Every structure is written in structure tokens, then in C-alpha cells.
Amino acid sequence: MSEDIIEVAMADTTTSLTPAQKIKANTDAIIKNYYLLKDLKNAPKVTPDPFDKEPPKNIRGYKQSSTDVKNDSALNARTIGDLTKGKTRLNIISALTKDDKVDFFKFNATVDEKLGIAVTTDKGVRIQILDSKGRVFADSEAKKGILYDNFQSAGGQKLDIKKGTYYLKVTRDTGDLNTVTPNYAIQVSTTRYYEKDYDTTETPARKVSYATSGAYSAGGINDLLAQFNGGLFDSANGTYYSKKV
């Protein structure tokens, strides 16, 4: 290895160098190579992520239903479960009905993790991720700079989060009227591998005619779910058990 470095150094020098200068150039190359090899030897070993693999075939599924509230805030956010690396995946299916301005959901990260988010919505849905103090640190709106970058990182399961409580805030895009009633489905995870799937389906705060409201229209939610890889309610992956989160 050292001889290779010397040959390269000598080949790169010009004939105008004196013998002493050539010796110095070759010596510098040898020293540089020594430290490169030393750094390589002392570099921490990269341990493969044991959860970077496909989930098992027999995934246990859990369902819960929640009801929207008229005056939504982080204080009355609906809990969708604990997010545990290599163990759980959390899913939400809901809609913004007429005059429903915002929906809040919360989940608990059990350890420091890299958050991943997958979103399937009708046009006009904005999603924000908030920390335990209610501060927005990721935003799906493209004009939000670093907040939008963070949301994109979550889309690639690369957004670092600490252990603790987090909120998902769902609203309409800026400028959209409350008469627009978009469906949405959100999925949060930390790894490709998981063993339990928690599904939360939320119904509106007041009764609506699903057939005429636009939200929850025939096929609407199913069409949304079908766009996920395997669907949120993929019964082929295992048996679903009714359980409150």
C-alpha cells in the first residue's frame, strides 16, 4: 500500500522538483496513508439494522374506533398507540367533514427513533407533526422550508425523534374552504419490520350522510387504503383482533 502511494506521489510531481522536494512529497504521502489506515482501523463497526427487513407473514392486527370532537386541539387529541421500533405500526383513517377545521392525534415514541410517515389523502390535506410542547417540526406544506424538508425526511423514514409524546395535526391546505371534505389515511412507523398493526378509524363529531357528504363516500376510504402498499387492512397478513389501544 505504501509503495502505491509513493508511486502516485512521484508521478504527480513535476520534473522541476529537486530530489529533496520529491523525497518530502513522498514522505508526506506515506504519512497521510498511515493516518488513513489508522482511522479506518479505529472506525466504529457498522452494525446492520436487524429491523431492516420485511415484516413477518403473521402480523397481529388491532382495531379501535374513535369519535371526532367539534373543538379539536392537542389537549383532546385521540391516542393512536405506542410506536415501538421493530414492534408496532400505527394507522389512522378519517376525514375532514364540513366545518371540521382540524383533527389532532397523538402517539408515544417509546425510544429514540427515526420516524417514518406514509400519507394517502384526497387533494387538499395538510399534515403537521408536533412535539410534546406543541411545536411544529415537520409540515407537508411545500412552502414551509426546513419544516417541509423534515416532513420529506419522515417520508423516507429518516426523521430523528426522541422518546416522548408527538402529535399529528390534520387541516386543509391553506386557502381551502371548509366545505371541501377530504378523506385521509396516515401511517407512522420506525422500521420496515413490525409485528403489530394498530388501526384507528375515526367517525365525525356529528352525524352526516356518508352517501352525500363527500367524506366517507362509497368506496372513498377503501380507495385510499388500496393505495398503500398492501393496504392498511391487509387481512392476508394475519388475523385482526379487536383491542383498544
Question: What pLDDT shows up at residue 211?
Answer: 34
pLDDT band at 191 (very low <50, low <70, confident <90, very high): confident
Question: What pLDDT shows up at residue 135?
Answer: 95
Q: What tens digit of pLDDT does each residue of 23-51 get?
A: 777 777 787 877 777 776 676 766 777 77
Query: What's the DSSP call for residue 52?
Result: -
More confident residue, 23 or 167: 167
CATH number of 60-242: 2.60.120.380
pLDDT band at 209 (very low <50, low <70, confident <90, very high): very low
- How much is the mean pLDDT over the chain? 76
What span, in angstroms and rounded, lies between the C-alpha atoms of 83 and 217?
30
Instruction: List the chain domain ranges.
Output: 2-42, 60-242
Question: What pLDDT shows up at residue 58?
Answer: 86
Percent of the chain with pLDDT over 90: 35
Question: What pLDDT shows up at residue 40?
Answer: 67
Q: What tens digit of pLDDT does each residue of 60-74 get?
A: 888 888 888 878 889
Residue 167 to residues 137, 138, 146, Cα–Cα distance (Å): 10, 11, 18
**Strand order across the beta sheet in which 136-139 lies:** 78-83, 102-109, 164-172, 125-130, 136-139
Q: What tens digit of pLDDT does each residue of 95-140 get?
A: 888 878 899 999 999 999 999 999 888 888 999 999 999 999 999 9
Query: What's the DSSP call for residue 85?
Result: T
- 166 neighbors 132 (Cβ within 8 angstroms): yes
The three grid cell numbers given for residue 75, joined into one nine-digit string: 389537549
What span, in angstroms and rounded, lies between the C-alpha atoms of 235 and 18?
77
Question: What pLDDT shows up at residue 61?
Answer: 87
0.85 cut: is pTM over it?
Answer: no
CA 125 to chain centre: 17
Q: How would you class 99 by CB atoms within 10 Å of its CB: exposed for 0-12, middle for 13-18, buried for 19 or more? A: exposed
